[in-house]
Amino acid sequence: VPPPPPGPLAFNGTKLVNDEDHPFMPPRKGDARGPCPGLNTLASHGNLIDLLCDQYLPRNGIATPAQIINAVQEGFNMENEIARFTTYTAHLMDGNLVTDLLSIGPKTPKTGPDPPPPAIVGGLNNHGTFEGDASLSRADAFFGDNHSFDQELFDQFRNFSAIYGNGFFNMTVAAELRFHRIQQSIATNPEFSFAGLRHITAYAEASFPPIFFVDGRKTGAEAGQLDMAAAESFFKHMMYPPDFHRPAEPVNSDAQAVFEVHPFQPGRNVGGVNNYTVDESLGGLLDFCGFYENFVNKTIKGLYPNPTGVLKRNLNINLDFLFEALPKAGDGSQPCTQVFPYGHD
């Protein structure tokens, strides 16, 4: 039975996370790495032998949701609710719900035997589930590789940081580059898709670098300003900068701050480039409950139309974990209504 998600950290201040118990080692042949620089980094730092005690994530890049939540909290001080939301969203689409294992990179037999199609169990590299277009450091799947570090895109990341951030990647740069990457994909990718979950994650992830990748000891004018050496370390080398300390308190994304500079509706190119067509039917950043309902009733139900046995039980358990992790209103109440595609039992 999948265990309940870990709770918040007991000690949640800043601390050295690139410590001697978690040395960096480049991925070995066969280790799974993928589109997320945060998870890639966590998997690349740890004990040199596969002893789980001194690892943020298993070095092979295959992890349970509980391991991922613990790792992003411990290694980056990601706030508990968003850690749970992100992890269960990914696991439900890209993970193996029977073995409770998710690849942070490609599809692999290491997550165990697959449930019947149309289930994909594709790992985080799978395009169109969690991974999506217009990423800041990875190319669109249409161009052939949606998960490897892309030097040209990183050069653009650097240029935008020079122009809008005085050499640093901050929230101003995040907003400008996020908008520019959307325009680039509209103009060059006939299959550009920016609907539903991707409308949410694209804005959230653009805010991640200034929030998670800046050393937690920085305060005042230095806070929220990511220098290019640290950015390259995370994005390109999957490596904490020397002496890196995690954020000083549990931190969340700030999708709204990125979005409101250049608001842009969910949608996709239809029938070719430069033909962006708004499609709000899967929800998005401004319709979170619409996203949630469609995610469960269309996306997950589409992957798992008729589950039985352990698969059905674990789907329901993971769907409960997801619902409990949805962002709450200001007064702590849950704005969305839970949906049950497989009944309750």
Q: Which residues contact Mg ion by CB under 5 A?
A: 131, 135, 138
Token pair listed for 29: 């042949």
The residues with which 169 forms a beta bridge, in sequence order, are 226
85 binds, among ligand HEM, Mg ion, none (CB under 5 to 8 A by kind): none
Q: How far is the CB of 235 from ligand HEM (least distance, A)?
A: 7
Residue nearest to ligand HEM (CB): 38
Q: Determine which residue in the list 168, 192, 212, 321 makes contact with ligand HEM, applying CB under 6 A.
A: 212
Place of tokens 């959307």: 182
130 binds, among Mg ion, ligand HEM, none (CB under 5 to 8 A by kind): ligand HEM
Q: Identify residue 172 by its one-letter amino acid code.
A: T
CB-nearer residue toward ligand HEM: 59 or 138 = 138
Cβ atoms of 168 and 226 closer than 8 Å? yes
Q: Determine which residue in the list 61, 132, 165, 247 makes contact with ligand HEM, applying CB under 6 A.
A: 132
Considering only residues 70 through 89, tell me which ones interact with ligand HEM, judged by CB under 6 A.
72, 76, 78, 83, 86-87
Q: How far is the CB of 78 from ligand HEM (least distance, A)?
A: 4
> What is the 3 state secondary structure string of the chain?
CCCCCCCCCCCCCCCECCCCCCCECCCCCCCCCCCCHHHHHHHHEECCCCCHHHECCCCCCEECHHHHHHHHHHHHCECHHHHHHHHHHHHHHHCECCCCEEECCCCCHHHCCCCCCCCCCCCCCCECCCECCCCCCCCCHHHCCCCCCCHHHHHHHHHHHHHHHCCCECHHHHHHHHHHHHHHHHHHCCCCEECCHHHHHHHHHHHHHHHHCCCCCCCHHHCCCECHHHHHHHHCCCCCCCCCECCCCCECCCHHHHHHHCCCCCEEECCCCCCEEECCCCCECCEHHHHHHHHHHHHHHHHCCCCCHHHHHHHHHHHHHHHHHCCCCCCCCCCCCCCCCCCCC
Q: How far is the CB of 262 from ligand HEM (least distance, A)?
A: 16
Binding mask 152-191 for ligand HEM (x = CB under 6 A): ----------------------------------------
CB-nearer residue toward ligand HEM: 126 or 314 = 126
97 binds, among Mg ion, ligand HEM, none (CB under 5 to 8 A by kind): none
Piece in contact with ligand HEM (CB under 6 A), picked from 29-37, 162-170, 260-268, 278-286: 29-37
Cβ atoms of 246 and 218 closer than 8 Å? no
Under rule CB under 6 A, residue 36 binds ligand HEM: yes
CB-nearer residue toward ligand HEM: 3 or 305 = 3
Number of residues that bind ligand HEM (CB under 6 A): 26
CB-nearer residue toward Mg ion: 45 or 199 = 199
Binding mask 37-66 for ligand HEM (x = CB under 6 A): xxx---------------------------
CB-nearer residue toward Mg ion: 126 or 135 = 135
Residues at the site binding ligand HEM, with contacts judged by CB under 6 A? 35-39, 68, 72, 76, 78, 83, 86-87, 90, 124, 130-132, 135-138, 201, 205, 208-209, 212
